[in-house]
């Protein structure tokens, strides 16, 4: 299993922006790796935010993220990002990156399909 290290959370006012980073520990995981971002609020289930295959292809976004969040990757740095703009109070949560293998597009949204998880980074949107 790969190891994932996240960073970039913090406190921001509504309308602000943050960029989350998730660095993958290995360089030999190949083209079958897929990465997704999830988030979880206290007392609620983990929900999908965005995901994509490491090798390329389209990115899948949850409705909550469309038009505001952007998933990207830097293969040279073994890092995926989640750029979040126009943040809302309801975006407050712990955000997790996750890694899985050989997943089809719809499966990018299912947390049970992922085998490795980052430690989580807290995002608080508040006045």
23 Cβ neighbours under 8 A, 6+ residues apart: 4, 5, 6, 7, 77, 78, 79
| CA nearest neighbour of 2 among 80, 84, 118 | 118
Q: How confident is the model at residue 54 (pLDDT cuts 50, 70, 90)?
A: confident
Q: Give how far the C-alpha of residue 92 lies from the chain's centroid of Cα atoms, to the nearest Å.
A: 14
Q: How far, in Å, CA of 7 to CA of 23, rounded?
A: 9
β-bridge partners, 121:
95
- Arithmetic mean of pLDDT, 7-28: 92
β-bridge partners, 40:
94
- Arithmetic mean of pLDDT, 52-63: 91
Question: Is 85 or 25 the better-scoring residue by pLDDT?
Answer: 85
């Amino acid at each position: 299993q790969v190891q994932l290290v996240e960073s970039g959370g913090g406190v921001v006012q509504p309308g602000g922006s943050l960029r989350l980073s998730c660095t993958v520990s290995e360089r030999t995981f190949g083209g079958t790796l897929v990465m997704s971002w999830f988030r979880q609020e206290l007392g609620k289930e983990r929900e999908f935010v965005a995901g994509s295959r490491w090798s390329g292809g389209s990115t899948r976004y949850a409705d909550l993220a469309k038009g505001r969040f952007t998933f990207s990757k830097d293969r040279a740095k073994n890092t995926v990002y989640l750029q979040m703009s126009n943040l809302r109070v309801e975006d407050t949560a712990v955000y997790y990156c996750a890694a899985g293998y050989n997943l089809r597009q719809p499966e990018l949204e299912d947390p049970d399909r992922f085998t490795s998880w980052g430690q989580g980074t807290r995002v608080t949107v508040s006045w």
